[in-house]
Amino acid sequence: MNSKLRDIALWFDDRLQISKVWNATAGHHIPKSSASWFYVFGSATMICFMIQVLTGICLALIYQPSAEEAYASLLYLNYEQPLGWLLRGIHYWGSNFMVAIMLMHMTQVFMFGAYKYPRELTWVSGVILCLLTLGMAFTGQVMRWDQDAYWGLGIGVAIMGRVPFIGPELTHMLLGGPIIGGETLSRFFTLHVFVIPGGILALLSLHLRMVLNKGINEYPEVGKPVVKETYVEEYEAQVKKDGTKFFPDAIGKDLVFGGIVIGLVVMCAILFGPKGPEGIPDPTLIDASPRPDWPFMWIFALAALMPPYMETVVLLVGPVIGIGLMIALPFYDNVGEKKWTIRPVSVLVVIMAALSLGTLTWYGVTSPWSPEMEAWSSEPTPSHLLEGRTPLELQGAMVLQYKQCRNCHSLDGIGGKRGPDLTDVADRLTHDQLVRQVVQGGGNMPAYGQNLSPAEIAALVAFMETLHADGRLPAQRATNLQNSDRVPSLEN
């Protein structure tokens, strides 16, 4: 019986060449130093992509890619389809993990100098795979077809519309018309489900083929620079001397890390659930507060913070230069040392990029430039700021609340962050300065002189004059400081 089964297996192997394919792929030899925990991010990214494909196929059975039905189909998945919320959660968190691990993989490859000779095209294909992964994330956000999707898409096409000469045509082609509508969702569904995943599969196959052809980069060591004339010969000799099979010898760490990633994705889906949909995509809702997903939060912050005259240059030229530098990297830094400890410029680039993107992402999350449109009705005035106040001052507190000042100004750190915190505003501004600021505005604050009655202004200023640090007198004009030992700040 066993002999007959063996004969059948050999028959198939003779025709399909399975054993040769296996030996050339999973059974290939790699440098022993590459069997490290630093080398697990690439395989983990592939696992995340497989999660996206499998969950995406299941979601596509329910999701309706039409402007009228998309939002409702997501609500159906969340609340009516058994375990639909878990499926959406795994898909959402799988996307987040895929982007994060992809960036970690790119950083590891850069720091280990794995982009140098002879792996230039492996790096280039990795850069394009990273861009396609971000494309998957962006089009996936559009699939939610909620406020975030609508306004995020609006910002994206606005940037595209700035492209010289062909901007309007590009925008029209992407939207399927002059405005965001049903045709837009249909086109992004095609991109998200067919075009981009297909591109990833094709390029991933090429990427893996190049990894097998040129070998996995060895763990970098000081004093072992890349020299074109001798590198390939030395690499092959090293692999022949102490190399190890990827399977079953070196795959253990990849399997362990992949299992951890799968567990974390499922755990996040159970604990935090899917994202959205958050509000029907209605452009007439002016109090919406849309946010992009975290991979694009830094762009959101950059667009909000930069001066208007720089927007076109930064948003159009910046990405072209950045992507161009990444693709050209292995061609202008092709040989030499790989060890990061003697490549201080590379370390500095990674640190600066992490700090810049991290800071902009934090600003994007907090969005201090955006009013909190519901703060005036949802955030009460702290009770200790009302104790012992006169009727006029209490009336001023009501004016502060009902005129929606809290949407831009916080009290005790609670409320909008667009303007300064008013908890100690009387330490900074005198009575006259408060009146002038309210009536005439200043900085990024509009004038409210036409929107408040004289009685309301008097009450509001009276209340704000009580907002100062304990044990300190309110700010006064210089002529009134004869009995004071400090000068008030004019900063608002």
Give yes or no for residue 275 having a pLDDT over 80. yes
- Please write the tens of the pLDDT for every residue from 41-98: 999 999 999 999 999 999 999 999 988 899 999 999 999 999 999 999 999 999 999 9
For residues 206 and 125, is the Cβ–Cβ distance under 8 A? yes
Between CA 20 and CA 18 the distance in angstroms is: 5
Q: Which residues does residue 410 pair with via DSSP β-bridges, in sequence order? A: 415
DSSP string computed for 242-281? H-EEIIIII-HHHHHHHHHHHHHHHHHHHHH------S--
Residue 286 pLDDT class (50, 70, 90 cuts): low
What values do phi and psi take at 89, rounded to 5?
Answer: -65, -45
| pLDDT value of position 180 | 81
Comparison of pLDDT for 155 and 381, the residue scoring more = 381
Give yes or no for residue 288 having a pLDDT over 70. no
Give yes or no for residue 225 having a pLDDT over 70. yes
Comparison of pLDDT for 106 and 285, the residue scoring more = 106
241-245, 322-326, 345-349, 469-473: which has the minimum mean pLDDT?
469-473
Q: Using DSSP bridges, classify how beta strands 410-411 and 244-245 pair: parallel, antiparallel or unpaired.
A: unpaired
Which residue has tokens 């009387």? 426
For residues 216 and 236, is the Cβ–Cβ distance under 8 A? no
Residue 486 pLDDT class (50, 70, 90 cuts): very low
Between CA 149 and CA 296 the distance in angstroms is: 12
Q: What is the dihedral of CA 214, 216, 222, 228, to 10 degrees?
A: 0
Percent of the chain with pLDDT over 90: 51
- Please write the tens of the pLDDT for every residue from 204-224: 999 999 999 999 999 999 989
Q: Which two structure tokens, joined as six digits, stand for 337?
A: 């040392």
- Please write the tens of the pLDDT for every residue from 449-478: 778 888 999 999 999 989 988 777 777 765
Between CA 174 and CA 153 the distance in angstroms is: 10
**Cα angle, residue 283 at apex, residues 279 and 289 outer, rounded to 5°:** 55
Between CA 410 and CA 402 the distance in angstroms is: 14
- pTM score above 0.85: no
Nearest to 477 by CA among 431, 427, 426: 431
Q: Which residues does residue 245 pair with via DSSP β-bridges, in sequence order? A: 29
Give yes or no for residue 488 having a pLDDT over 50. no
**Which runs of consecutive H residues, i.e. helices, occur in 316-343?**
318-332
Which residue has tokens 């060591």? 221
For residues 487 and 472, is the Cβ–Cβ distance under 8 A? no
Which residue has tokens 């595209």? 160
| pLDDT value of position 157 | 80
For residues 218 and 238, is the Cβ–Cβ distance under 8 A? yes
Q: Which two structure tokens, joined as six digits, stand for 74?
A: 């997501």
Comparison of pLDDT for 350 and 67, the residue scoring more = 350
- Please write the tens of the pLDDT for every residue from 20-51: 888 888 888 899 999 899 999 999 999 999 99
Residue 321 pLDDT class (50, 70, 90 cuts): very high
For residues 162 and 313, is the Cβ–Cβ distance under 8 A? no
Q: Which two structure tokens, joined as six digits, stand for 485?
A: 């030992």
- Please write the tens of the pLDDT for every residue from 99-140: 999 999 999 999 999 999 999 999 999 999 999 999 999 999
| pLDDT value of position 489 | 41
For residues 51 and 238, is the Cβ–Cβ distance under 8 A? no
Rounded to an integer, the average pLDDT of 362-382 is 82
Distance of CA 427 to the CA centre of its chain: 39
